[in-house]
Amino acid sequence: MARFTRAELESFRDAEVPDLLGPGLRLLFVGINPGLWTAATQTHFAHPVNRFYPALLQAGIIERPIDAAAGMDDEDRAYFRSRGLGITNLVRRATVRADELTADELKAGGERLLELVTELAPRVVAVAGITAYRQAFGDRKAVVGRQPEPLGQAELWVVPNPSGLNAHQTIASLAAAYAEPARAAGVLD
């Protein structure tokens, strides 16, 4: 695993992380925005206490571990894409915490996401984080799970955020939540 000093991590504030996208996209996961560790490693959901990849593994969405905290290598990225998976964020700029984002940034991120989904046409979009989803799409009553309206032509889900700050979620509960949109996307049987 990579190691960073607080000052090194702070130097990545406002940095961007490229989307992880490829042909044959079936399931697009959408984070809120990159954290500083993610920006430092250029790997989505990379913070060492983030449960995203362990939950994907437990759910069977991926079939081998990915050590995101060390940063994905080209083989990891190719494997992830080969599973029909992709990752983007509502907001591109890295912050320490998602609550540093403005409502306008999240709303603009929702608009950008719709454009991306229209262009790439994944079967399913899974937004990780109910609060950010509500702000981005102006739907204050949204609940976790499949949403009644699609995003473009894609089936839309809101799933729990895998951040270590979302302490009431476990790897097992996240795996169960992520398996549902993965089944809908045809990634899992």
What class is the 6-13+21-185 domain? alpha beta
What distance in Å separates the CA atoms of residue 137 and residue 111, rounded to the nearest whole number? 8
pTM of the shown model:
0.95
Q: What is the pLDDT of residue 170?
A: 95
Residue 148 has pLDDT above 70, yes or no: yes
The region, left, alpha or beta by phi > 0 then psi within -120 to 50, assigned to residue 53 is: alpha
103-129 residue pLDDT tens: 999 999 999 999 999 999 999 999 999
Strand-pair category, 124-128 with 27-31: parallel
pLDDT in tens, 18-64: 999 999 999 999 999 999 999 999 999 999 999 999 999 999 999 99
* pLDDT of res. 163: 86
